[in-house]
Amino acid sequence: MKSHMHLRPRVLVTGGSGFLGSHLCERLLASGAEVLCVDNFFSSTRENVEHLLPNPRFELMRHDVTFPLFVEVDEIYHLACPASPIHYQRDPVQTTKTSVHGSINMLGLAKRTGARILLASTSEVYGDPEVHPQVEEYWGHVNPNGIRSCYDEGKRCAETLFFDYHRQNQVDIKVARIFNTYGPRMHPNDGRVVSNFIVQTLRGDSITLYGDGSQTRSFCYVDDQVDGLMKLMGSPDGVTGPINIGNPNEITVRQLAERVTALIGDAREIIFEPLPSDDPTRRCPDITKAREILGWEPKTDLDTGLAATIEYFKNHPDRVNW
């Protein structure tokens, strides 16, 4: 990574007003960095970063990364892209453009400025995996033309672009594969199971399970996820990834629903719906590389993280009744 004369790193976070991006912006400011948060608010909200606006080291810019951005920065966290099925399927062409054109634009910026750039990739690059748990060397089992392909294949192409810019132009890259992050500021209507179950229970609605609820997920609390991303960004030059950043503790979706309702103290009726097309049946990261290379592993147990997330929604009834 290049050397800079100024004291504070200037960090660009694309998708910075989203759920994960807003927490990352907070932590970067706490570390002393100057933060430029860029977002087009397609699936995020300004409210997530409003409390950061008084900070003189924080700047918020409305911008769509599918168009070039001309700024001077030292590091780029490229998070911009709708990340939940409801949002990325709302405009699948735009989702693919965000992953592909957005990555080309941010890589071009990194090339020009000499900035180190991190891609927030996803466990979805593994598709409905035939290898379990998923290791980074696994190439995946992905439908290239299904309703989820705009996101799955978009992120796979983004990874391709990152590694080609690294090989061809010596761009300093890091690639993180993120697994099911949850916590405060989740969008209440993003279709993800944690927010779905919490919001449905607090509203007094029935709990919706897709399939028979036996499909598994592994949930990583947002604070741990941010720790992993920042450790990867700060790793030595030769570490490019991809590296899985997630929690290896696997749980069925039905067990998660039971945990949520037990923590809220309100048992709800469960309604079963058909499993969505191409929905993965098992999802769990192998985090050996994260442990050995980054010295990272998640610290927050599921009940603690769920309790903090439930408390957030209780304190924001406007989001429960979105």
Domains of the chain with bracketed CATH: 10-182+221-247+286-298 (3.40.50.720)
Active-site positions read 151
**What torsion, rounded to 10 degrees, do the Cα atoms 310, 311, 314, 315 define?**
-140
- Please give the Cα distance from 34 to 60 (Å, whole number): 11
Does 5 score more than 50 pLDDT? no
Does 83 score more than 80 pLDDT? no
Q: Kindly state the tokens that stand for 142.
A: 């992905």
Does 2 score more than 80 pLDDT? no
C-alpha pair distances (Å), 195 with each of 192, 260, 282? 6, 10, 19
pLDDT, tens digit, 9 for 90 and up, residues 90-119: 889 999 999 999 999 999 999 999 999 999
Q: What is the pLDDT of residue 1?
A: 47
Please give the mean pLDDT across all residues of the chain.
92
pLDDT, tens digit, 9 for 90 and up, residues 193-240: 899 999 999 998 999 888 888 999 999 999 999 999 999 999 999 999
Instruction: Name every residue whose Cβ is closer than 8 Å to that of residue 149 and which is 6 or more positions away in sequence.
Output: 92, 142, 143, 278
Query: Which residue from 130, 36, 39 is spatially nearest to 83, judged by alpha carbons?
Result: 39
